[in-house]
Structure 1
Amino acid sequence: MDTFASLKRRTTDLLSSLPQSLPAMAAHLPSLNQPHVLRGTWERISSVPALPRTSHSLDVVAGTAYIFGGEAANPREPVDNSVHAVTLPSGSAGADYYAVPARMDEVPLSPVVTKDQAGKGEELELELGDVPAARVGHASAVIGSRIFVFGGRGGKEMSEVLEERGRVWVFDTKTHLWSYLDPAVAALGPSGPDGEGKGWPRGRSYHAAVGVEKPDQFGERSGGKGKHPGGAGAGGKPLSRAETWREWAVGDSDEVGIPQRPIVGRIAAEAKDEDEEGFGTFIVHAGCLAGGERASDTWAFDVRSRVWQELPPAPGKGRGGTALCVSKSKLYRFGGFNGEGEEGGQLDVLDLVVDTFDDQVTGGSEATVTARGAWRSLVQYSGVEYTAEDATAPLAETASPADAWPGARSVASLEALNVGGGREYLVLMLGERDPSGAGHAAAGKFWDDVWVFQVPPQGNTAASLHDAVLHAVGKKSGEGKWTKVETGPYDDEDDASAEGPGPRGWIASAPMGELEENGIVVWGGLNGENKRLGDGWIFRLG
């Protein structure tokens, strides 16, 4: 007989497959007369072995959580450089686990850098190797079906910041093979004693990273095809005006056939792997540098051109352990540790845009993600007057004394979730609230709470219509406000999930994506007893 949890998942899958309507949004859209109360549930992932981890990374692709790096049961004790995969529960199927040893892809993503080109090409290749070394405090993000990894600490005791001259490691979840992307030769410049170059960010640890699937539209270059050639027909061929009515009617059916009788071999020959073509942007922010300095810089790596671009630095002190996420075209940051205490009371935002320009060299158009203006900040009410010249100028108005705010924290989770109907939230959970006086050798104090921040809804959706109605009758929609989430077990009969994951920090998390759009996976972490935890949890909003 199926368990309650599996039956509940089946029911959830069935309901989520139904067309969305305004009545279906009642759980996520507040009524006009009642206060907005958000609820969430916790479910412990069962039937998989414990994987104690801190300072690790976790990414979800196609229903599987990929865990890489970090410390094991003891501090400064690194795990191997294998990728540990957990197939997440779905429907009546439970979770499963397997390990993927580190192996290199036979076809490198980056061309081999010669000694004549970079001056130190041979030494660089020998030093960094073909697969990433074991590491802690690195950052990762997903673009397409690949996981991008940058930075971290290595060495015998995991105390040395890895300086890899801007290299980005890439794990392909389809082939389970590693490759890497080095900055383009044109961006390589002389590096100082700490590895800093002109065209890439310095090595760092305990930074944050996000992936953006833009740009993904490219114009056709002379002598080659872009991934999505602008104004292109089948097979990436440029469109031209048909000379006769018959040519227009037949089109390319001679090459690819018709829907009822496709020419399969030709279609397969013309097919492209979008990941191999290269698209998207990998963004890293802040972290701890080699000399102990904490950074506040922001860098964007264009996957297709392999060029790093420095974006505006964030306001406030440099920090490590900050939380970062992307919602629509905005980059959000909360918290971190500045060397003296935990950061909080401020949500920082950077607007991202896709900049398209004509490339006069290759004869086509190019696109890149860049920042529009400087960072802006929504600041918790403090009774202080802010001016437009202030580095922490609020987005609109300073929050009022009645507004609830999450406490200051670092090494926490911040993810963007779409709960349906065009409604999006930023979900902040767990994290360290009071650091240990003994540093990395002991545990501090931790949060066990969950907060959501309501961002503007997507246009022409049930959520946008609902908010418009609220504004029309003089009611507040909750946009731009923090709300504490009331949590409980996903299954009322599941005693193991009744209390949730408990207070912890130094966790890794990722949204579940298409598997469950309102779900977030959390793995591992450190609790107040200085114990490294090996359990996994699923949080569901609503």
Structure 2
Amino acid sequence: MAKSLSIKWQRIIASDTIKRSSQVIAIANDKVHIFGGEIVPREPVGSNVYANPKITRLPGLKDSSTTTQPASPTSPCPRVGSASATINNTAYLFSGRGGTAMSPISEHGLIWSLNLDTLTWTPLRSSDPSAPYPPARNYHTLTSNSTSTLYLHAGCPASGRLSDLWSFGIPARRWTQLASAPDPPRGGTSIVYAAGKLYRLGGFDGTRELGGCVDVYTPAPDSWDTLPFTDVGPEARSVAGLAAVEVVGRVVLLSLFGERDPSSLGYQGAGKMLADVWAYDVESGVWAEVLQEGDGLPEPRSLEQRHEQLLDKKCLNCHRHRGLVSLFLIFYRDPHLCRVHPSSLHIGLHKKPISKERV
């Protein structure tokens, strides 16, 4: 990757209906769908699904409207800190935190699927009830290979943190435990699937934010490698967004925002929010900070909520439209839906070294 990327932000929705934290989003058929989360700490907002159409609107058009699909008896129970991944027109959801005790929701390995055309939920249970399945957790991460396999990683169970990795084959409906990631166990980490591998960045181990390297999982031979930063890179952080895009034929990972310096207030407080965006060239292993442009930029934020504390949650997803990639953020307390305009991704010249104390 020559130097770095520059990106342009565009606000596309402003609506109090969608403001919340710790929610998940899914994007398909030119719509963004929102589920779960909280506004008041420890009070899930419910199980409605919110849909915002025409996310590819041009500048100057009015904000898209938000429609609501009310919860039904077949909907998942209200939850926060869940994780989701989208394949074609179906979103998949695993666990989260809820109930009167606001503890990890144990559903015996069940995956919820949401048809994004009909907005109907279907529980996917393992085809082998006797087979092992991942424990309930929150502030974990979920991604997919975009065809038939989900990958679940890390997070916070009833106590402690995890470093495990599981795959769920959708056609066979079966969990498989894979090689655990390098220690320490963590919540609030980020993973993304790109070029046949999983890439992991950051997290929180209960004491400190993690950084300074990219961990890479290769399905065959079921192993992890750790790639230390060679020069500059994003400072240590948790609950950051991570997305894979293709730029001039090269696979690039985008790390967006996140949090450092955790609060001592637990669920009632947040640490320092970050506003930077970094690009990682998978082939060369080089980081460069991304120059952000637009008529108003997103404020500092985290993109998930971790087990230890309430954060200003904005959830990131990737949407492919006409062969291009748009990135979408849902803002908490600043209830806007924004995207990186796909045609604005271009090679720029903007590099900024970071303090080594942060990595």
TM-score, with structure 2 as normaliser: 0.87
Deviation at 1:70, TM superposition (A): 0.7
Q: For the residues of structure 1 that align with 2:104 and 2:18, how far apart are their CA atoms? A: 24
Choose from 131, 138, 153 the match for 1:285.
153
> What is the TM-score when the length of structure 1 is the normalising length?
0.58
Q: Distance in 2 between matches of 1:132 and 1:502?
A: 31
1:383-398 mapped onto 2 (5 Å cutoff): none
1:524 is the counterpart of 2:325: no
Measured in 2, the distance between the counterparts of 1:408 and 1:200 equals 31
Question: Any residues of structure 2 matched to 1:166-177 within 5 Å, and which?
Answer: 166-177=109-120
CA spacing shift, 1:299–1:37, aligned 2, 3 Å: closer
Distance in structure 2 (CA, Å) of the matches to 1:47 and 1:321: 27
Out of 28, 45, 67, the residue aligned to residue 98 of structure 1 is 67
Cα-to-partner distance string for 1:422-478 (whole Å, 9 max, x where unaligned): 22210001111111011111121111000010123xxxxxxxxxxxxxxxxxxxxxx
The answer to whether the aligner puts 1:179 opposite 2:88 as a matched pair is no
Is the contact made by 1:511 and 1:517 (CA closer than 8 Å) also made in structure 2? no
State the partner residue of 1:208: 141
Q: Does structure 1 retain, via aligned residues, the 8 Å contact 2:14–2:336?
A: no
CA deviations over 1:155-205 (Å, ceiling 9, x no partner): 136x21100001000000111111110011xx323xxxxxxxx52100110
Please give the residue correspondences for 1:64-463 in structure 2 after superposition, counting only pairs within 5 Å. 64-72=31-39, 74-87=40-53, 88-91=55-58, 94=62, 95-103=64-72, 130-156=74-100, 159-184=102-127, 187-189=128-130, 198-214=131-147, 280-290=148-158, 292-352=159-219, 371-380=220-229, 399=230, 403-419=231-247, 421-456=248-283
Partners of 2:94 and 2:267 in 1: CA distance: 22
Residue identity opposite 2:150 in structure 1: F
Distance 1:140 1:480 in 2: 28
What residue number does 1:504 align with?
301
**Local SS of the residue matching 2:293:** strand
* Residues paired across the two proteins, number: 330
Structure number with greater CO (CA < 8 Å, separation at least 6) is 2
Pair 1:62-2:29 in alignment: yes
Is the CA contact (8 Å cut-off) linking 1:59 and 1:509 kept in structure 2?
A: no
Q: 1:50 Cα shift?
A: 4.9
Give the deviation of 1:41 after TM superposition. 1.2
Find the aligned partners of 2:213 and 2:187 in 1 and give their Cα distance: 16
In the aligned structure 2, how far is the partner of 1:103 from the partner of 1:171? 13
Partner of 1:395: none
Letter in 1 for 2:134: P
1:536 corresponds to which residue? 337
Could you tell me whether the CA contact under 8 Å between 1:50 and 1:535 is conserved in 2? Answer: no
- 3-state DSSP of counterpart to 1:316: coil
Deviation at 1:501, TM superposition (A): 1.0
Residue identity in the other structure for 2:103 = E
Cα displacement string for residues 485-539 of structure 1 (whole angstroms, at most 9, x for unaligned residues): 01111xxxx4xx2xx11111132111121257242001124xxxxxx44222212
* Larger-Rg structure: 1
CA deviations over 1:353-404 (Å, ceiling 9, x no partner) = xxxxxxxxxxxxxxxxxx4231111113xxxxxxxxxxxxxxxxxx2xxx11
Question: Could you say what secondary structure the match of 1:448 adopts?
Answer: strand
Question: For the residues of structure 2 that align with 1:487 and 1:91, how far apart are their CA atoms?
Answer: 19
Gaps of 5+ in 2: 305-313, 347-359
Provide the rounded CA distance (Å) in 2 between the counterparts of 1:404 and 1:86.
38
CA RMSD of aligned residues (A): 1.8
Q: How far apart are 1:138 and its partner, in Å?
A: 0.6
Query: Whole-Å Cα distance in 2 between the matches of residues 297 and 47 of structure 1?
Result: 38
Residue 37 of structure 1 and its aligned partner are, at CA, apart by 3.7
Matched-pair contact (CA < 8 Å) for 2:15–2:335: no
